[in-house]
Amino acid sequence: MTNTKAKLADLSDPLKIFQARFELPDNVIYLDGNSLGALPKTVKQRVAKTISEEWGEQLIRSWNTADWVHLPQRVGNKIARLIGAPEGSVVAADSTSINLFKVLSAALGLNAGRGKIVSEKENFPTDLYIAEGVAKQLGKGHQLVLADRPDDIPQMLDSDVAVLMLTHVNYRTGYRHDMAAITRAAHEKGILVVWDLAHSAGAMPVDLTGANADFAIGCGYKYLNGGPGAPAFLYVNPRHQGAFNQPLSGWFGHRSPFNFETGYVPSEGIEQYLCGTPQVLGMVALDEALSVWDDVDMEALRDKSIALGDYFIEGIDAFSAEYGLELVTPREAEKRGSQVSYSCENGYAIMQALIARGVIGDFRAPDIIRFGFTPLYLSFADVEKAIAILQDVLKTRSWDSDAYRVLGAVT
């Protein structure tokens, strides 16, 4: 039975109309849109049409007739509206990791002469791995210096730091940095800032222009609902465009790719950050998925995201101590993104038992169970049911089974 509080919250939810736009199986409460967004219904038809008509019938002509060739810019402009970036400053391409390689290389090139990249120990591993790789590749002895905690970052910003590279919302804890304040503090020391928006694009309003961010990257398959392995995106502040060449100098970043010139001359615009042929099917799925956002009020989205998170935290508070669940996400709404995580013993088995009951979240080693709140397709009644099922799984110890200890390749 849904209690009155959840019912009232659902009745007055201005975003409830959006749930019908997504394909969601019955008996599933999907709390993993922060990892793979749900399927927007119209994506199915759009991709099918692209395959049967554009690829099947029009064949190679579709690069022009269906304008496949400009998908990276078109999709980029749709994403730009969600992250406070001007037209022409965002492209969709490649993966987040590859885009980080491009923008981090560019940022280090713009701040040559400085020796450090600052980030956090808790940053998503791919960001740290790519930074290690870029530093090695440049061969100029760049040092990657990692903060133990977010509060340590301001005192690490000195005149030898070239780039501060942070993820806006932490993938594990859901901690959210104050993008504007940190960017300002870094700029005061002449440091360029690269933001990873994997857990913020489509989860909340983001204002890259207001924060005067230098570069940003992010995923298409999480809150943007572009589908598994969807193209990622990257943002370059217009004041840096053309100031430095990114190193993956493929032909799609060339000023005129179809002139087939011998030497590389980069495009002056954001296209310079493209590399090779766009992944059309993935790009089309992401393009269609982004059309949902035309009607979304981003402030209402953030309000609902906070309310869903608060509702979940309060519900779990009633039994978390009894079962050893420790909240690792900040309680203060302004310090968190759109996910809530707990550390606990047997977290993997607990998550598998939850999934078996239709509550899909995920597990991040060594001990975090993670629940994402996607305001477009979650209701307060869903959250209430998820709380009750979690309590039941813990009370009955239904997780305590060998079947739930078998580790999948993806957790």
Residues with a catalytic annotation lie at: 124, 196, 221-222, 370
Contact between residue 213 and residue 200 where contact means Cβ atoms under 8 Å apart? no
Check binding of 146 to ligand PLP (CB under 6 A).
no
Segment interacting with ligand PLP (CB under 6 A) among 104-112, 121-129, 147-155, 376-384:
121-129
How many CB atoms within 10 Å of residue 46?
16
Question: Which is closer to ligand PLP, CB of 229 or CB of 257?
Answer: 229
Interacting residue with ligand PLP among 50, 62, 77, 96 (CB under 6 A): 96
How many CB atoms within 10 Å of residue 255?
14
Interacting residue with ligand PLP among 124, 223, 293, 399 (CB under 6 A): 124
Check binding of 196 to ligand PLP (CB under 6 A).
yes
Q: What letter would DSSP give residue 176? A: B
Rounded CA gap, 330 and 337, in Å?
A: 9
Question: Which is closer to ligand PLP, CB of 200 or CB of 272?
Answer: 200
Residue 160: both structure tokens together: 């030898």
Question: Which is closer to ligand PLP, CB of 120 or CB of 384?
Answer: 120
Rounded CA gap, 168 and 119, in Å?
A: 11
Contact between residue 63 and residue 283 where contact means Cβ atoms under 8 Å apart? no
Q: Residue 370's beta-bridge partner residues?
A: 341, 362
Check binding of 341 to ligand PLP (CB under 6 A).
no
Residue 85: both structure tokens together: 């970036």
Q: How far is the CB of 264 from ligand PLP (least distance, A)?
A: 25
Rounded CA gap, 97 and 176, in Å?
A: 20
Number of chain positions touching ligand PLP (CB under 6 A): 12
Question: Which is closer to ligand PLP, CB of 97 or CB of 209?
Answer: 97
Over its C-alpha atoms, the chain yields an Rg (Å, rounded) of 22
Angle, alpha carbons 285-378-284 (nearest 5°): 5
Segment interacting with ligand PLP (CB under 6 A) among 124-132, 201-209, 346-354, 366-374:
124-132
Element (H, E) at 403: none
Q: Shortest CA distance to 265 belongs to which of 249, 243, 248?
A: 249
Check binding of 179 to ligand PLP (CB under 6 A).
no
Check binding of 368 to ligand PLP (CB under 6 A).
no
Check binding of 126 to ligand PLP (CB under 6 A).
yes
Contact between residue 265 and residue 254 where contact means Cβ atoms under 8 Å apart? yes
Check binding of 198 to ligand PLP (CB under 6 A).
yes
Check binding of 232 to ligand PLP (CB under 6 A).
yes
Residue 279: both structure tokens together: 């992944």
Check binding of 93 to ligand PLP (CB under 6 A).
no
Interacting residue with ligand PLP among 105, 167, 305, 346 (CB under 6 A): 167
Check binding of 128 to ligand PLP (CB under 6 A).
no
Check binding of 122 to ligand PLP (CB under 6 A).
no
- CB-based burial of residue 310 (10 Å sphere; 0-12 exposed, 13-18 middle, 19+ buried)? middle
Check binding of 329 to ligand PLP (CB under 6 A).
no
Check binding of 219 to ligand PLP (CB under 6 A).
yes
List of residues contacting ligand PLP (CB under 6 A): 95-97, 124, 126-127, 167, 171, 196, 198, 219, 232
